[in-house]
Structure 1
């Protein structure tokens, strides 16, 4: 029996995370799942520069990147580009921000399995309903 393919094989994923240890772990987990990791980027400026250089297939964004600094500018740009993304944050009080409505949201600490499964679902092609349905 052949091993199952890596669930994120072929996907290029932008990672925006300001905590070095968490960023390193995210990179290892996503890489082991077959993804090509863009970053990780510790701030919105470097993430936006990476987006200017090329379109990723998806993204994982920490919301808070320092005192008073968020990844929302990156999320805005991803929206404009039509790139799916999810938020992964340690902020236990989910902000009542319209930016988060309808967005996948994972609360840290996140299990490796949950992160990979959530991204695989986010990136899976949506199935169109059959004609006449």
Structure 2
């Protein structure tokens, strides 16, 4: 992919599947994004924000030991757009998060780039 639709965008990935996280990171970087964090645990958002702005996030719903719903709400409260990346049905999302984009695993990486580009361009 040579289209740099994410040029200058700062993205975080919260995903516990190493291969899925790696593939998403690689594809987002090829699209021009700066992936500022890839983590398998719920990160501390204020710490991430202290390092600079975040334009969008890609987050798994279930990290094995915990759900990321509270983190998603924190992103939402700060107007940071995000998409869920999950093997679960979107119907399991709490009502307050149900309007967010849900990308099914295994993810179509071109769709990941397209969704993140759309979110980042909205700016929250």
Determine if the TM-score, normalized by the shorter chain, exceeds 0.5: yes
What TM-score, normalized by structure 1, do the two folds share?
0.80
| Partner SS state of residue 94, structure 1 | helix
Residue 91 of structure 2 corresponds to which residue in structure 1?
A: 94
Residue 10 of structure 2 corresponds to which residue in structure 1?
A: 12
Instruction: Look at both structures and tell me which one has the larger radius of gyration over its CA atoms.
Output: 1
**Unaligned ranges ≥5, structure 1:** 127-133
Question: 2:100 matched to 1:107?
Answer: no
Residue 57 of structure 1 corresponds to which residue in structure 2?
A: 55
Change in 2 beyond 3 A, CA 1:93/1:86 = closer
The C-alpha deviation readout for 1:92-115, integer Å capped at 9, x for no partner, is: 463041143110111111111111
Count of matched residue pairs: 121
Q: Which has the higher contact order (CA 8 A, sep 6+)?
A: 2
Change in 2 beyond 3 A, CA 1:19/1:86 = same
Alpha-carbon distance between aligned partners in 2 of 1:56 and 1:125, rounded to the nearest angstrom? 13
**Within-5 A mapping of 1:20-31:** 20-31=18-29
Change in 2 beyond 3 A, CA 1:72/1:93 = closer
**Unaligned ranges ≥5, structure 2:** none
Residue 36 of structure 1 corresponds to which residue in structure 2?
A: 34
Question: 2:115 matched to 1:124?
Answer: no
- Superposition CA RMSD, Å: 2.0
What TM-score, normalized by structure 2, do the two folds share?
0.85
